């Protein structure tokens, strides 16, 4: 089985759960002995783990014919692609992409992030997909999230191979219902052209069916999972010397994540006890608003903003926490609570999250119910028996949520689409 995947993020350079899920799923699928995965990224950095898949750097793929000299070509390729592969790809250019700005080797420069000209980058990525899919043999196409749906559709109609799209989120999640019509149309087109759709939760599956008008028979839920922790992460010691308990929110500080509910819950807890501190770890367009809200509630001395954390920093923060909170307004899945549970941190999640569908040893509250959220936090930091139960049973539970199991469900979808039984 050969899968051509299109994705936007991959560790170690990730900005959210999309990259984490892309890594976990592909690594889990690599356990299948006959699975070969090629994964196209806009701008790999060269330090990605390619021991279980092949990464194609979209920013090195020629979409316009150029005749670079050998030294310049090697300089631009930077060891991420061989000259032989470049020339093979160049021979697969069959479309007029002269309207797209390219560099001296005929390839497009990508930011590797989510720039202001994101729509342009999506169109350029789509053009690259047309070259890549002509250059290789594969059985199925798998597009991760809306940014790569146009590329997947393009590859489907060039190659004649079936398309599976993976809905990690919809714009209804990201915008609290104030949907961007351009994004919605891209998402809907991807869903309509796909041969099958994978969603990361039943919550998201319902959105796809009812908000985008997709037949239920075309949509399968495959919940996310977590990677086993390395010994290096397991060895991290709790750093804080504070006697106060530490309650942590970790994620993008955006509308979707419900940061204001975390602040309001913190305010209510601090009215009952002063032996606790709150940490908001992350960055986003609501950060300044949250700083002002904390000041208005007069809890600045008990509230800390760390900024964006990545890699080992995330686990250092989690290991220094006594409670983890995810108050998301609409969370298609939410891997971060599972990561917190892996290191034994009692966790509170919103009922409006995909992970709430599969987790039993957490406390679940409605995102808007700040009194219930405050009660949950207060109880965990006050009653040792409750803390210990959530810590121990939560870790046992999450240790059984493995990417290999999710990967087999994805393989079953592939087999169904291809008629391989």
Domains of the chain, residue spans: 2-225+403-418, 231-398
Indicate if the alpha-carbon torsion angle 250, 252, 254, 255 is positive or negative: negative
pLDDT tens sequence across 371-390 = 999 999 999 999 999 999 99
Strand pairing partners for 365? Answer: 350
Q: Say if residues 258 and 227 touch (Cβ distance below 8 Å).
A: no
Handedness of CA 169, 136, 48, 222 (dihedral sign): positive
Q: How far apart are CA 252 and CA 167, in angstroms?
A: 19
Output the pLDDT for position 145: 94
For residue 334, pLDDT over 80 is answered with: yes
Q: Which two tokens stand for residue 415?
A: 């087999």
What is the pLDDT, as a whole number, of residue 7? 98
Block residue for tokens 């279980």? 52
What is the CATH number assigned to the segment(s) 231-398? 3.40.50.2000
Tokens of residue 161, six digits: 């191979």
Looking at residue 14, what is its pLDDT? 80
pLDDT of amino acid 111: 94
Say what the pLDDT of residue 272 is: 96
Return the pLDDT at 81.
97
The confidence score (pLDDT) of residue 17 equals 85
Reading the block at residue 419, the tokens are: 């008629």
Residue 201 has pLDDT above 90, yes or no: yes
Domain 2-225+403-418 identical in fold to domain 231-398: yes
pLDDT band at 310 (very low <50, low <70, confident <90, very high): confident
For residue 200, give both structure tokens. 């990361």
In this predicted model, what pLDDT tens digit does every residue of 89-104 receive, in sequence order? Answer: 999 999 999 999 999 9
Asked if 130 and 155 touch (Cβ cutoff 8 Å), the reply is yes
Cα 263 to Cα 176, 188, 266, 353, distances in angstroms: 19, 35, 5, 19
The span from the CA of 101 to the CA of 89, in Å, is: 18
pLDDT at 242: 75
In 3-state terms the chain splits into helix, strand, coil percentages (rounded to 5) of 45, 15, 40
pLDDT confidence of residue 16: 77
Mean pLDDT of all residues in 352-367: 97
CATH number of 2-225+403-418, picked from 3.40.50.2000, 3.30.465.10, 3.90.1640.10, 3.40.1350.10 = 3.40.50.2000
Averaged pLDDT score across all residues of the chain? 96
Confidence of residue 346 (pLDDT cuts 50, 70, 90): very high
Q: What is the pLDDT of residue 156?
A: 98
Q: For position 421, what pLDDT does the model report?
A: 77
pLDDT value, residue 311:
84
Q: Count Cβ atoms below 10 Å from residue 9 Cβ, excluding itself.
A: 24
* pLDDT band at 417; cut points 50, 70, 90: very high
Q: Which of 360, 370, 326, 321 is nearest to 344 (CA)?
A: 321
Say whether pLDDT at 226 is over 90.
Answer: yes
Query: Comparing C-alpha atoms, which of 116, 187, 106 is closest to residue 153?
Result: 187
**What percent of the chain shows pLDDT beyond 70?**
100
Mean pLDDT of 14-33: 92
By C-alpha distance, which of 334, 342, 340 is closest to 317?
340
pLDDT at 238: 85
Tens of pLDDT, residues 251-288? 999 999 999 999 999 999 999 999 999 999 999 999 99
pLDDT tier at 239 (50, 70, 90 boundaries)? confident
Question: DSSP secondary-structure letter at 227?
Answer: P
110-146 pLDDT, tens digit each: 998 999 999 999 999 999 999 999 999 999 999 999 9
Per-residue confidence band for 297, with pLDDT thresholds at 50, 70 and 90: very high
Q: What's the mean pLDDT in 236-241?
A: 80
Q: Which residues pair with 303 in a beta bridge?
A: 278
Angle subtended at Cα 139 by Cα 193 and Cα 206, rounded to the nearest 5 degrees: 40
CA dihedral 190, 191, 197, 202 (to 10 degrees): 120
- HEC-encoded secondary structure of 231-291: HHHHCCCCCCCCCCEEEEEECCCCHHHCHHHHHHHHHHHHCCCCCEEEEEECCCCCHHHHH
Alpha-carbon span 7 to 2, nearest angstrom = 16
- The pairing of strands 323-326 and 276-281 is unpaired
Q: What is the pLDDT of residue 133?
A: 98
Q: Token pair for residue 222?
A: 């495959």
Which residue reads 């690599």 in tokens?
Answer: 30
pLDDT score of 174? 86
**How far is CA 319 from its chain centroid?**
22
| C-alpha atoms less than 13 angstroms from C-alpha of 68 in its C-beta half-sphere | 22
């Amino acid at each position: 089985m050969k899968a051509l995947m299109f994705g936007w993020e991959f560790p170690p350079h990730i900005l959210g759960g999309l990259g984490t899920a892309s890594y976990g799923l592909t690594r889990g699928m690599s356990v299948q002995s006959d699975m070969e995965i090629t994964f196209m990224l806009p701008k790999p950095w060269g330090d990605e783990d390619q021991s279980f898949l092949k990464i194609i750097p979209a920013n090195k793929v020629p979409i316009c014919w150029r005749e670079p000299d050998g030294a310049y070509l090697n300089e631009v390729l930077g060891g991420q692609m061989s000259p032989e592969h470049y020339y093979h790809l160049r021979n697969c250019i069959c479309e007029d992409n002269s309207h797209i700005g390219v560099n001296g080797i005929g390839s497009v420069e990508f930011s590797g992030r989510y720039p202001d000209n994101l729509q342009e980058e999506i169109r350029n990525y789509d053009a690259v997909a047309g070259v890549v899919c002509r250059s290789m043999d594969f059985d199925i196409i798998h597009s991760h999230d809306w940014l790569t749906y146009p590329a997947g559709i393009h590859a489907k109609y060039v190659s004649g191979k079936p398309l599976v799209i993976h809905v990690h989120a919809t714009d209804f999640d990201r915008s609290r219902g104030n949907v961007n019509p351009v994004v919605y149309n891209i998402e809907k087109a991807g869903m309509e052209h796909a041969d099958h759709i994978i969603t990361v939760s039943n919550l998201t599956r319902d959105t796809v069916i009812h908000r985008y008008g997709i037949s239920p028979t075309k949509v399968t839920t495959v919940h996310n999972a977590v990677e086993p922790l390395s010994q290096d992460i397991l060895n991290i010691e709790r750093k804080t010397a504070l006697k106060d308990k530490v309650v942590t929110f970790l994620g993008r500080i955006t509308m979707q994540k419900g940061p204001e509910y975390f602040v309001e819950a913190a305010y209510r807890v601090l009215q009952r006890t002063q032996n606790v501190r709150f940490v908001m770890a992350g960055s986003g367009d609501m950060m300044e608003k949250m700083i002002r809200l904390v000041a208005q509630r007069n809890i600045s001395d008990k509230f800390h903003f760390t900024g964006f954390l990545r890699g080992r920093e995330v686990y250092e923060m989690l290991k220094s926490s006594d409670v983890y909170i995810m108050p998301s307004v609409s969370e298609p899945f939410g891997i971060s609570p599972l990561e917190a549970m892996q290191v034994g941190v009692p966790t509170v999640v919103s009922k409006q999250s995909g992970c709430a569908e599969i987790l039993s040893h957490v406390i679940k509250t409605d995102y808007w119910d700040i009194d219930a959220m405050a009660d949950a936090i207060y109880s965990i930091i006050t009653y040792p028996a409750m803390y210990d139960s959530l810590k121990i049973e939560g870790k046992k539970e999450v240790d059984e949520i493995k990417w290999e199991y999710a990967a087999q469900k994805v393989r079953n979808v592939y087999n169904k689409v291809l008629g391989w039984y």
